[in-house]
């Protein structure tokens, strides 16, 4: 399913290509159409998937992926995934995310909850953060076995919950991790995976400030993480992925360096893949670097040893 495309014959007021354009008459033109496919779309036979409604007002939903389970009472780690797209594009129902999150669920043997948050600029920041926080609380409500979703009640292991996201989704995931202690000890955030995170320090800074009219300026801790917030990161392990040709790479590396020295008592690793650009793993999931990335992600979730040191570039 694709959204109905309309056009404006007015002048452009703000051009944030390749994300979106805003016209003087208020029309918003996305440079990438929003496409949504059903849960069954190209789903591996080893998985089940369905869409769930988290709240009706505001409308927040998610797509859940669960591996086929042989034993009735088996427990699996829970992965909360937050998609990227500059806060303005994409959806967990997009074919790209349908395929990628399904792959993670299959390879890591986890229950994956892929969050649908409302997009800016129609819904300005902090809407994406707050919708994702509501979704995280909804997931946590299943920790006692009495939530709304049977798959999570029966098979979710809430001592092994992971947050993951790419680009803007990685930014949101970090901000959730800073707040997550308020929902513990209902569930334990075992780790966080940030793929090509979108933080302050690139030519895209202007877009974030446009999408967040009520911002804290250059010191807004949601976009430029503050040391005191980073020290409250509510998990013991973090894995940061960077791409050598990504214009967000330097900001991601700065985040990694600051997290190591902010007083946080966890362990953080960083992996940089040379010769590839932003979210290459979504666009070319079968390339050598993307396969390496998936292997490391799965190893991180399952706490398996990584053969190559984080100091290496791939």
C-alpha 108/C-alpha 26 separation (Å) is 44
Diameter of the chain measured on Cα atoms: 60
Neighbours of 160 (CB within 10 A): 20
Residues in the chain: 314
Measured distance CA(137)–CA(52) in Å, rounded? 14
- State yes or no: is 103 an active-site residue: no
Q: Which long-range contacts (CB under 8 A, 24 or more apart) does 142-147 make?
A: 143/186, 143/187, 144/186
Neighbours of 187 (CB within 10 A): 22
> CA 120 to CA 98: how far, in whole Å?
21
Which residues, 6 or more positions from 154, have their beta carbon under 8 angstroms from its beta carbon?
72, 73, 145
Candidates 49, 61, 91, 167; catalytic one? 167
The Cβ-side half-sphere exposure at 154, using a 13 Å CA radius, reads 9
- Cβ neighbour number for residue 146 with a 10 Å cutoff: 8
Asked if 117 contacts 128 with a C-beta cutoff of 8 angstroms, the reply is yes
Please list, in sequence order, all residues whose beta carbon lies within 8 angstroms of the beta carbon of residue 140, skipping any fewer than 6 positions away: 158, 183, 186, 187
Burial label, 42 (beta-carbon count in 10 A; 0-12, 13-18, 19+): exposed
Residues 6+ apart with CB under 8 A from 209: 215
Which residues form the catalytic set? Answer: 167
């Amino acid at each position: 399913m694709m959204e109905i495309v309309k056009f404006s014959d007015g002048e452009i007021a703000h051009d944030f290509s390749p994300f979106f354009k805003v016209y003087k008459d208020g029309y918003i033109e996305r440079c990438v159409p929003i496409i949504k496919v059903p849960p069954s779309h190209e789903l591996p036979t080893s998985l089940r998937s369905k869409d769930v409604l988290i709240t009706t007002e505001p409308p927040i939903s998610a797509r859940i992926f669960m591996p086929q389970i042989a034993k009735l009472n088996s427990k699996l780690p829970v992965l909360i995934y937050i998609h990227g797209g500059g806060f303005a594009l994409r959806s967990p129902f997009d074919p790209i995310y349908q395929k990628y999150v399904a792959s993670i669920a299959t390879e890591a043997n986890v229950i994956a909850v892929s969050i649908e948050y409302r997009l800016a600029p129609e819904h300005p920041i902090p809407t994406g953060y707050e919708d994702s926080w509501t979704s995280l609380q909804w997931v946590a409500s299943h920790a006692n076995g009495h939530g709304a979703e049977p798959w999570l009640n029966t098979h979710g292991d809430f001592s092994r919950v992971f947050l993951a996201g790419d680009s803007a989704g990685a930014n949101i995931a970090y901000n959730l991790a800073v707040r997550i202690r308020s929902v513990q000890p209902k569930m334990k955030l075992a780790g966080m995976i940030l793929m090509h995170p979108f933080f302050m320090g690139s030519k895209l800074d202007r877009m974030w400030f446009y999408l967040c009219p009520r911002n804290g300026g250059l010191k807004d801790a949601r976009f430029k993480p503050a040391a005191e917030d980073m020290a409250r990161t509510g998990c013991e392990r973090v894995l940061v992925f960077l791409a050598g040709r990504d214009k967000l790479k330097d900001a991601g590396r700065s985040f990694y360096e600051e997290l190591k020295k902010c007083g946080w008592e966890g362990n953080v690793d960083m992996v940089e893949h040379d010769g590839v650009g932003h979210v290459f793993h979504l666009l070319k999931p079968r390339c050598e670097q993307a396969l390496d990335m998936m292997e490391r992600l799965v190893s991180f979730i399952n706490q398996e040893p990584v053969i190559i040191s984080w100091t290496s570039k791939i």
